[in-house]
Amino acid sequence: MLDNTLVSVNNLSRYYGEHIAVNRISFELATGDILGFLGPNGAGKSTTMQMLSGNLAPSAGEIIINGIDLLEQPKAAKQSLGYLPDVPPLYNEMTVEEYLHFCAKIHRLKKTAAKHCVRQAIDACGLGTVKQRLIGNLSKGYQQRTGIAQAILHSPPVIILDEPTVGLDPIQVIEIRKLIKQLGQSHGIILCSHILPEVQAVCNRVQIIHQGSLVYNADMQSLIQQQDSGWFEVSLKHAPDIETLLAWPELTALEKTGACNYLLQSPLAAEILCEKLVQQAWGLASFCPHRQTLEQKFIELTLNPEVSLTPDALD
């Protein structure tokens, strides 16, 4: 475990009778991490978040929050947690400021500390212009900001956000993403979402859970730069028929993706394959390596019935 590790999850499992909702997952979260936690419906995302937040007891395994065992010392461990569930726990009849002071009392902050923390949370979440307004009269975006404000009110090192931009308009989504990035500079954040572009835009690490098991774990930069082994995106102005292309000895696989566009697989290096395509006089219009996207990786791992659900599947 690294010195700046904030969350350490070891062999975490949860059973519902004979059904395995979460199957021996392990991972860590460090200061400065914004970890995207992805998975299809029913994969075990919400169950994992509920266990991490202390709202659901695991069947087996260990959760260490900021050096404290969540199962052995739940109150102490939860002091290091801020949690925004998918439905923010707001009271519509309160003003933003009243609500945050109420949350400060729940965290047992003393009066002077509470005023300071409420002011900091309001500033951090951009709520200054609406702090005296009733929560029920706020836009969805400001309600989400208020939910995030209660999660960071007591300055927890770990923040768990479950679907923080659901139901927001594009402008509100951009604002919340910017806020999450700012918070990620001084906290460790777990962002649970099914919106893949959001995770790719905000997170520096990503994990995918499928059928209760972690099947992918990588940093986002590696994913963006990763290339499918030997795959290239090609556009040909004077393409021959498919049979001719399939018979070309330089290719091992081919997929037509448009009228003049192809996805080619070849054992040749990119520059050599490009040169050989030019020599064929097929009117090479564009050529680039096929880069793996988060969406492609997600589909590959969650829709492929052959996918391995063992630790060997983790990158």
CATH of residue 105 = 3.40.50.300
pLDDT band at 248 (very low <50, low <70, confident <90, very high): very high
- Rounded mean pLDDT of 301-308? 58
Same domain (yes/no): 172, 246: no
Q: How many Cα neighbours within 13 Å face the side chain of 255?
A: 7
> Which pLDDT score is estimated for 201?
86
Average pLDDT, the chain: 88
Q: Is 201 in the same domain as 261?
A: no
Print the domain residue range for 280. Answer: 227-291
Residue 310 lies in a domain: no
* Residue 179, SS3 per DSSP: helix
Give me the residues paired with residue 214 across strands: 209
Residue 262: give its domain's CATH number: 3.30.70
What is the per-residue pLDDT for 204? 93
285 and 185 in a common domain: no
Specify if 302 maps to a domain: no
Burial class of residue 269 (count of CB atoms within 10 Å of its CB; 0-12, 13-18, 19+): exposed
Cα angle, residue 165 at apex, residues 153 and 185 outer, rounded to 5°: 50
Q: Are residues 209 and 273 in the same domain?
A: no
For 113-148, the pLDDT digits (tens) are 999 999 999 998 999 999 999 999 999 989 999 999
Q: Which of 194, 218, 242 is the last residue of a domain?
A: 218
Distance CA 268, CA 275 (A): 11
Whether 167 maps to a domain, the answer reads yes
pLDDT higher than 90, residue 272: yes
pLDDT reported for residue 226? 58
Tally of domains within the chain? 2
Instruction: Answer yes or no: do 72 and 176 share one domain.
Output: yes
185-215 tens-digit pLDDT:
989 999 998 788 888 889 999 999 999 999 9
- 212 lies in the same domain as 235: no
pLDDT of residue 225: 62
Q: Note whether 104 and 181 are same-domain residues.
A: yes
- Residue ending a domain, choose from 218, 245, 280: 218
Task: Yes or no: say if 162 and 49 are a contact pair by the CB < 8 Å rule.
Answer: yes
- pLDDT value of residue 120: 93
Question: Are 169 and 261 members of one domain?
Answer: no
* 212 and 287 inside one domain: no
Domain edge (last residue) among 218, 240, 268: 218
Q: Considering only CA atoms, which of 18, 32, 49, 29 is closest in space to residue 209? A: 49
Identify whether 297 is part of a domain: no
Task: Calculate what percentage of the chain has a pLDDT beyond 70.
Answer: 92
In a domain, residue 104? The reply is yes
The per-residue pLDDT for 130 is 97
Q: What is the pLDDT of residues 33-74, one digit of tens each?
A: 999 999 888 899 989 999 999 999 999 999 999 999 999 999
pLDDT reported for residue 224: 64
Whether residues 244 and 118 share a domain: the answer is no
State whether 101 and 58 are in the same domain.
Answer: yes
User: Are 154 and 233 members of one domain?
Assistant: no
